[in-house]
Structure 1
Amino acid sequence: MNDSSWGAPPRAGYWGQAPDQGPFPAGPAYGEHEVEQTRPMPIVPDAGRDAEHAEEGDDRDHRDQGAAQLSGPLFRDEMPQEPMSAPEPPPPEKKKAGRDLRAAIGVGVGLGALVGASLFIVKALFIGVIAVAVVVGLWELTSRLEERKGIKAPLVPLAVGGAAMVVAGYVRGAEGAWVAMALTALAVLVWRMTEPPEGYLKDVTAGVFAAFYVPFLATFVALMLTADDGPQRVLTFLLLTVVSDTGAYAIGWRFGKTKLAPRISPGKTREGLVGAVTFAMVAGALCMQFLIDDGQWWQGLLLGLAVAASATLGDLGESMIKRDLGIKDMGTLLPGHGGIMDRLDSLLPTAPVVWLLLVLFVGS
């Protein structure tokens, strides 16, 4: 507590004379050091009372103080403390799915109906569905690259070349797909030359990557469709991928505790991976036994295991891209799912795996 809180009189020679007090006496008693170290008591108005009254007042003060101590608590520590009850633990939070399940299920059913109708009615119509998905996926990918990284991968040659790649794979097989891929990469290099050279290398690199990542991998779905039981092969490919994702989601949401790749995708767990493998292997055995001509159930087990691995790696791969771009979804076109690329992430790398294994197991 400083001097001013007690109403200390000002020092002579520094503040001048205090009002109604007169000048302070000089001398060592009021030296600079002493004034700074001492704390004068407040001035008592009844300073003229005699010593006897002062002693009686002091005794009365002591008695009052003692009575106050006896009559009730004076300090905080003496206050009666009510027993503190232990805080009730908060109710456990209910796990949330993390997305709009109604919208996701509705969109999934709609996409499934579109794919099923086009796949089993007119094969060429399904090729059109693949081409449209490829073009939209390329638009989402190039848009996010430009927004987040300033990379301008040329969309026009990618979209035209990507659609042509899918059609060439269906009409001319794997050879046609490779030729279309090479021509698309060349078109990307030439198209970018119409703009200033700054950033040319990163733009064309991103363009060639996009051409391989989206339309070229999607071409293997068209290659499956060229077989005699092509619709059944494509249906097996779609079912296994969806079942793998569903198993990982369901088991991981319910039992997931151990993170699979926390730096890439914190939501994925090892328990979810076990669910993906289990669901996909069961579905693979059923599909190979009842959908694929000359297929065996044990082949379906291997196929399901491979699909679970490729679908998980594909999902992690796109999660890596989105983390680098600093985004959660590639788009908002599909409510409850994100964008087209958010649905193609596990399908694209799985397509060549399923195509190759089916060719090894039952031929082309």
Structure 2
Amino acid sequence: MPDAPQPAPAPPKKSAGRDLSAAIGVGVGLGVVILASLFVVKAVFVGVIAVAVVVGLWELTSRLRERKEIKAPLVPLALGGAAMVIAGYVRGAEGAWVAMALTALAVLVWRMTEPPEGYLKDVTAGVFAAFYVPFLATFVALMLTADDGPWRVLTFLLLTVVSDTGAYAVGWRFGTHKLAPRISPGKTREGLLGAVSFAMVAGALCMQFLIDGGAWWQGLLLGLAVAVSATLGDLGESMIKRDLGIKDMGTLLPGHGGIMDRLDSLLPTAPVVWLLMVAFVGSS
């Protein structure tokens, strides 16, 4: 008697690749901390930004040392990074630029206390880290200085999260065409369209109902810009991690990786949102 035909194996289920329950729990917890500090006392939220910057710098410099033997000096970066955020909030863009210049100078001088071998690559990485993490984060503090600053920051955070969510949801369900396979194989063109669509709708709602003097059409442009900058930021950090040969920058946040793995989309998006907000409704 011939063998009965075997049923075809079920296709593998798509997986998010992370512990979603842990990721959601951590995300909700971070959201509560951010919102509580943002709408209670502005200065407290500036402290939250500074702490995130210092932890992000620690993760980045640690991975550079472990994987590439690049010794970007953490102490001047951490002190200068926190000062950069505070200076941006207190003294505006001019204060941020001055703090950035002094931080770069401190990195150059601090590294002189060690042997000259590797000096150029260490200080180059240090100046890059100062620009990439605290300087870009300073634009969040600049947003906060406006009369409706908390709402501007909330719009910035919402649009970035919505963009990432749209990219994941649409890409996971419909994604077939790779966006940048050599950098981030999981990203698809369909996901990018999802990010743009979700962010533009959210941007129109936020600019119309949350921002003083804002209009829905400005939100469409803002959402488009956020989707592009958030995607580029994600790809940029993926490029760094591929060069370092790691999956995550850290393990501090269960289900998310490290702080830098959450800041990748936010950091390059902050100056974009700040600039468009100033162009659309002014800086005060």
Query: Which band: TM-score by shorter chain?
Result: over 0.9
Mapped partners of 1:177, 1:345: distance in 2: 20
The unaligned stretches of length 5 or more in structure 2 are none
Evaluate the alpha carbon distance shift between residue 82 and residue 158 of structure 1 in structure 2; reply closer, same or farther with a 3 A threshold.
closer
| Alpha-carbon distance, 1:90 to partner | 4.2
Evaluate the alpha carbon distance shift between residue 196 and residue 258 of structure 1 in structure 2; reply closer, same or farther with a 3 A threshold.
same
Match of 1:107 in 2: 26
| Alpha-carbon distance, 1:80 to partner | 11
Evaluate the alpha carbon distance shift between residue 81 and residue 282 of structure 1 in structure 2; reply closer, same or farther with a 3 A threshold.
closer
| Alpha-carbon distance, 1:304 to partner | 0.1
Does residue 356 of the first structure (1) align with residue 275 of the second (2)? Answer: yes
Mapped partners of 2:183, 2:73: distance in 1: 28
In structure 1, the residue corresponding to 2:113 is in which secondary structure? coil
**Which gives a bigger RCO, structure 1 or 2 (Cα 8 Å, sep 6+)?**
2
| Alpha-carbon distance, 1:91 to partner | 4.8
| Alpha-carbon distance, 1:88 to partner | 3.4
Point out the structure with max Rg over C-alpha: 1
Evaluate the alpha carbon distance shift between residue 80 and residue 283 of structure 1 in structure 2; reply closer, same or farther with a 3 A threshold.
closer
Mapped partners of 1:121, 1:224: distance in 2: 16
Evaluate the alpha carbon distance shift between residue 81 and residue 297 of structure 1 in structure 2; reply closer, same or farther with a 3 A threshold.
closer
Residues 148-169 of structure 1: per-residue CA shift (max 9 Å, x gap): 0000000000000000000000
Residues 198-233 of structure 1: per-residue CA shift (max 9 Å, x gap): 000000000000000000000000000000000000
Mapped partners of 1:82, 1:219: distance in 2: 68
The unaligned stretches of length 5 or more in structure 1 are 1-78
Mapped partners of 1:286, 1:185: distance in 2: 40
Mapped partners of 1:251, 1:102: distance in 2: 20
Mapped partners of 2:222, 2:133: distance in 1: 22
Mapped partners of 1:102, 1:273: distance in 2: 25
In the TM superposition, 1:1-364 aligns within 5 A as: 88-92=8-12, 94-363=13-282, 364=284
What percentage of aligned pairs have identical amino acids? 90
Evaluate the alpha carbon distance shift between residue 169 and residue 255 of structure 1 in structure 2; reply closer, same or farther with a 3 A threshold.
same
Mapped partners of 1:322, 1:81: distance in 2: 51
Evaluate the alpha carbon distance shift between residue 90 and residue 120 of structure 1 in structure 2; reply closer, same or farther with a 3 A threshold.
closer
| Alpha-carbon distance, 1:81 to partner | 11
Evaluate the alpha carbon distance shift between residue 196 and residue 246 of structure 1 in structure 2; reply closer, same or farther with a 3 A threshold.
same
| Alpha-carbon distance, 1:82 to partner | 11
Mapped partners of 2:242, 2:8: distance in 1: 39
Evaluate the alpha carbon distance shift between residue 118 and residue 81 of structure 1 in structure 2; reply closer, same or farther with a 3 A threshold.
closer
* Runs (4+) off by over 6 Å: 79-83
Mapped partners of 1:192, 1:136: distance in 2: 20
| Alpha-carbon distance, 1:267 to partner | 0.4
Evaluate the alpha carbon distance shift between residue 91 and residue 161 of structure 1 in structure 2; reply closer, same or farther with a 3 A threshold.
closer
Mapped partners of 1:278, 1:88: distance in 2: 37
Residues 142-197 of structure 1: per-residue CA shift (max 9 Å, x gap): 00000000000000000000000000000000000000000000000000000000
Mapped partners of 2:208, 2:2: distance in 1: 79
Q: How many pairs are equivalent?
A: 282
Mapped partners of 1:320, 1:328: distance in 2: 11
Alignment RMSD (CA, Å):
1.6
Mapped partners of 1:279, 1:82: distance in 2: 49
Mapped partners of 1:206, 1:327: distance in 2: 18
More helix by share: 2
Evaluate the alpha carbon distance shift between residue 82 and residue 200 of structure 1 in structure 2; reply closer, same or farther with a 3 A threshold.
closer
